[in-house]
Structure 1
Amino acid sequence: MQDFLQQTLSEQAPRKRQGETAHLRWQWLDHGILLMEPKVKAGQALVLSAGIHGNETGPVEILNQILLPLLKGEKPLQQRLLVVLGNPQALKAGKRYLRYDINRLFGGRWQQIVDSDEAHRVLHLEQAVETFWQACESDETRWHLDLHTAIRGSYHSRFGVLPLNPRPWPTNFLDWLAAAELEALVFHREPGGTFTHFSCEHFAAASCTLELGKALPFGENDLSQFTAAHQALAALLYGDSLPAVQRQPKRYRVVQQITRLSENFKLHMGQETLNFTAFPQGTLLAEDSETRYFVQQAREYVLFPNPDVAPGLRAGLMLVEENEQTQALPL
């Protein structure tokens, strides 16, 4: 098996489910789940995922490009690697998801929905990740990078979203994110149902959701826009030189979540509103029957505004920049 993406989209398991090159051994675990292990001792274990949303195809193509030299035996592998294409059915259909957004269902939240393909898929992903982390040596570093693209345009074209983490973020992890030319880092302060939060909460992995541009169908991506991420991933996997850091990302933290509670929800932002658009204190952001969401700090920035989510799900996040002076409205 040399083309992981095409094999996954075929919905067929490869005839040969495991093999090796001069540098590594690989094993097809399930549709879109591939284990790769170097033949020499590695000090790091990495989960590298993409395609959690089926319409975010650019990172999937980049990931496949990076795997080809490894599977052909042309490049060495520097660490234990679990590769995940999260939602093959949605990828094949070219849709964000078919019924449920699986990036809201990790950490056992899949048990709260009806029995479905998405619930089964999240369970399988959780089990695969758990097995992978449990096989780690005690001194192995654990990272999880989940590659995405955003529905909307953004004032920061590449940014990372980091889950709630009670531990300090490793310096080399933050340095890698800067070398991948992320323009901003967003730090969560509450738990969530994302894939990266699952890895961080349950297995103490340094994890990040990387938003690397605009979501486009297969064949329409300008892969040159992913050059920095490609080079940084090559450095991580092959041992190539890590690109020099051009500038440190801006840092934001989440200060409130806008949740759609009912069919009466109204988001006071148009389709043209970009991620990281700033709103002044007191601005009415959204309302849902008697519930209203206002900007509480001196200035807040919106991330992932989406009025079309199902009731009970996040319709947007509001952020503050870490180095800005903020003052909350009085209660």
Structure 2
Amino acid sequence: METNSELLDKENLTRVIGEYPTEPGNQSPGPYLLLSGGIHGNEPSGVLAIQRVFRKLRKVKPSLKGKIVGVAGNIVALKKGVRLIDQDLNRVCTLANEQQLKSGELPDFHEASEFRELMLIIEKLENEAHNRAFHFMDLHTTSSNTAPYISVNCSESSFDFAKQMPLPVVKGIEKYIPGHFDHYQTLKGHIGFTMEAGQHDDPKSADYHEAAIWMVLVNAGMLEKSAIPYEDYYQLLDNASPTNENFEVIYRQEISEDHYFRMDPGYANFTKINQGQRLATLDGETIVSRAQGRVFLPLYQTQGSDGFFIVKQA
């Protein structure tokens, strides 16, 4: 079976993956939904899932309220199959950088130009949407094998929206690492979340992402349940994760560029841990858990500044 990286058509990748409906005259009043995949270039699953959804929309032509738009994130990194080029795109999406870009100043790192293009697309959609609800869904995967889950900023409307999904929901990560693309959109007043669907190259990740997109279209009031096999998608996600509990981030293990971090083997998302339990090494020194809870986003790849997080039940 081909991996997600092998399935991605890197040569023909474009910023806007699709829009539906395609003609303004065919649009019915309703919310807007922005889907984003590949904010990290080694995470093709979201792009593949968005492409699938638009192929089906164009083929079936269901009645849709509002408008759905899908975009690819770090185009150059996606084509190279690497997480980032100069800086992590999912750390530079801040209001301060937005103002700098609007002033005509382009910071001296590649991801600034990627963020600028995404920013302009959002502005265009905001102008189209006027006072309609604006939802978003940012699609990600992880370096380790893990069950799907949702990450949401500390926004009650987004938290409530995320809890409609049959997946565990983790809130509050923006307190530790601001600059996420989803945090930027939350600060703009949009409602939505990030969905992590599993390991980067696992084909099931694209299946989970696609199922979640269809469910979000229904949950946002854009599509009738009867238009899709909603229960099949629900069961697929419900069976994919060991828990549907809600969690909050309480600790982040930071890694600086000159440090060597190694996560101990065997940890997956939501693995229960005790205070004092060994988790990793940093420059050869043992790191133990500072609290009882569960491991979140253990790092098993070479690029990244977050070794792991600890979450507790919210």
TM range (shorter): 0.7 to 0.9
Per the alignment, residue 83 of structure 2 pairs with 96
Within the alignment, does 1:147 sit opposite 2:135 as a pair?
A: no
Which residues in structure 2 correspond to 1:131-210 (within 5 Å)?
131-138=124-131, 140-154=132-146, 157-165=147-155, 167-169=156-158, 171=160, 173-178=161-166, 182=167, 184-188=168-172, 190=175, 192-201=178-187, 203-210=188-195
- Tell me the C-alpha RMSD between the 2 structures: 3.6
Letter of the 1:206 partner, please give it: I
Q: Which moved more, 1:36-45 or 1:145-154?
A: 36-45
* Higher RCO by CA contacts (8 Å cutoff, separation 6 or greater): 2
* Equivalent-residue separation in structure 2 for 1:307 and 1:65 (angstroms): 28
Give, in whole Å, the separation in 1 of the partners of 2:292 and 2:82: 37
- Take 2:15 and 2:259, find their aligned partners in 1: how far apart are those partners? 39
Q: Tell which structure's C-alpha radius of gyration is larger.
A: 1
How far apart, in 1, do the equivalents of 2:224 and 2:9 lie?
26
What's the counterpart of residue 3 of structure 2?
Answer: none
Q: TM-score, normalised by structure 2?
A: 0.75
Kindly indicate whether the alpha-carbon contact (under 8 Å) linking 1:48 and 1:81 is maintained by their aligned counterparts in 2.
Answer: yes
Aligned residue for 2:270, secondary structure, equals coil
Whichever residue aligns with residue 125 of structure 1, its letter is L
| 2:165 alignment partner AA | L
Residues 67-126 of structure 1, C-alpha deviations (whole Å, 9 max, x = no match) = 013335733332222311112222222222333321111114587996233210112112
Identity of aligned residues (%): 21
Q: Which residue type is aligned with residue 142 of structure 1?
A: F
Uncovered stretches (5+) of structure 1, i.e. residues with no partner: 12-29, 323-331
Instruction: Give aligned pairs, total.
Output: 285
C-alpha deviations, 1:266-317, integer Å up to 9, x for none? 44x224422222321133556768x99653333342324357346xx33322
Hey, what does 1:239 align to over in structure 2?
Answer: 224
Secondary structure in 1 aligned to 2:144? Answer: coil
Q: Distance in 2 between matches of 1:84 and 1:249?
A: 28
TM-score normalised by L of structure 1: 0.71
**Residue pair 2:162, 2:169 contacting (<8 A) in 1 also:** no
| Secondary structure, aligned partner of 1:46 | strand
Does structure 1 conserve the Cα–Cα contact (< 8 Å) formed by 2:33 and 2:134?
Answer: yes
> Residues 74 and 299 from structure 1, CA distance in 2 versus in 1: closer, same or farther, beyond 3 angstroms?
closer
Alpha-carbon distance change, 210 to 32 in structure 1, aligned in 2, over 3 angstroms: same
Identify the structure with the greater helix proportion: 2
Range 119-128 or range 270-279, more displaced: 270-279
Amino acid at match of 1:186: V
1: CA distance, partners of 2:247 / 2:198: 18
Partner amino acid, structure 2, of 1:150: T
What CA distance in whole angstroms lies between the structure 2 residues aligned with 1:132 and 1:57?
A: 24
Of residues 141-150 and 237-246 in structure 1, the stretch that sits farther from structure 2 once superposed is 237-246
